[in-house]
Structure formats: structure tokens, C-alpha cells
Chains A and B, each alone.
Chain A
Amino acid sequence: NAGVTQTPKFQVLKTGQSMTLQCAQDMNHEYMSWYRQDPGMGLRLIHYSVGAGITDQGEVPNGYNVSRSTTEDFPLRLLSAAPSQTSVYFCASSSRSAPPLDTQYFGPGTRLTVL
């Protein structure tokens, strides 16, 4: 199992550009989520999904879109990048029906800089 994979690992954008961060998991987890991590702060939830076709907003959803067309993939789209979106982005997955229950598996992260 590859677990949770994220691409790219690093990205530099100019203000106003758009891009998609990719996330995939091969554990058949129903739950997937996107977080951002800023220095000195805990992770903050951007969007999450409890299954294919179902997404919902987290704590900081503005400026981001998600979709979940398959169980495996959960891409995060930045619509018009702003310097405030400079951060490290993590994707995670878990299952509430298969063991180990609720254990969160994280991808390696994408370090995004917006100039």
C-alpha cells in the first residue's frame, strides 16, 4: 500500500494564479480531509469528505474548492492564489468502519508559496 500520496511536494505561485493539489489514498477509506499548517499554529481543516460525492467545509474553506468523484481521490483547488495561502497543505484519510478505526493517515504534504 502506498497509503496517502500528495503531489506536488513544492509549488510556487504568483498572486491570482490557480492550481490543484492532488491527493490519493489506496486504503479504501471513506473519510478524507485537507488541512493547512502555519507556523506556531495547529492544523486547520479546510474541507473534508465522508464519501464519494459528499464534501463539506471545515474551519477555513474560503478560497478553496474540493470535489470527490471517487473514493481514492480528493483534489484541492486554489481558485485565485493569495499570499495568505502560503502554507503547508496536508491531506489525510481514515475509516470509521474498518480497523484501525478513526486512525488518521497523512500524506507527506505540499509546501506552497504564493508571491
Chain B
Amino acid sequence: KQEVTQIPAALSVPEGENLVLNCSFTDSAIYNLQWFRQDPGKGLTSLLLIQSSQREQTSGRLNASLDKSSGRSTLYIAASQPGDSATYLCAVDPSNYQLIWGAGTKLIIKP
């Protein structure tokens, strides 16, 4: 059974630092992997989607990588800002539309 884990559960860093969020999954047979952002009391916003044939995706200061063989994905945030404070979730799509979710990493960027 596919399981998705995100470590750490919470992270606090000073503004301006580059940081990496981790997502691991137990079954490498995935269709895609997605990273989302969730602000308190709000819905989820898709940040990056990596198809199984891709190694990475970039959007602005965000870069997500995928290594299926090791069951890992990382979300790299460059030059962090207070506005980046949110909970970041990753989800794996095994191709049957039934996404499997990590519990998220709560990120706090201190001014």
C-alpha cells in the first residue's frame, strides 16, 4: 500500500534562507507527484506537478525534483520570504485518480 511521508512536520527559518522540504513515498509506480500550498483556513493551491517521466519542475523561486527509484521528492524554495509561510503538502497519484497525501510540513518564515 502506498504511503506518503513528509518530514519535518514543522520548520521555522529566517527570511532569505534557501530551504528544502522532503516528501517520500513507498511505491515507485506513480503517475505523477504534486506539491500544494495551504494557507490557514483556506483551500489548497497547486504549486508544481511532476509527471512520472520528468525529473523536475520549476516555477519562479520553487523547484521540485522527483526520484522514483528512491521514492523521494524535494521542494526547494529559494530566498524565502514571510509570504511563503504556509503548510506544504505533497500527493502521489498512482494513476487511478486516488491521490495519496502526506500530512504536510508547516513552514514559518521569520522576518
Docked complex: A37-57 residues within 8 A CB-CB of B: 40-45, 48, 50
The bracket for how many chain B residues form the interface is: 20 to 34
Q: Is A64 an interface residue (CB 8 A)?
A: no
Interface of A is mostly: loop
Interface residues of A in 75-115 (CB under 8 A from B): 90, 92, 100-109
B49 partner residues in chain A, CB cutoff 8 A: 100-103
Task: Give the size range of A's interface with the partner.
Answer: 20 to 34
Complex Cα–Cα for A82 and B93 (A): 30
Residue B44 at the chain A interface, CB threshold 8 Å: yes
**Cβ contacts under 8 Å, B86 to chain A:** none
Q: Which of B31, B43, B51, B101 contacts A106 (CB 8 A)?
A: B43
Interface pairs A-B: 8 shortest CB-CB: A42-B101, A106-B43, A106-B44, A43-B101, A108-B43, A42-B103, A103-B46, A42-B102
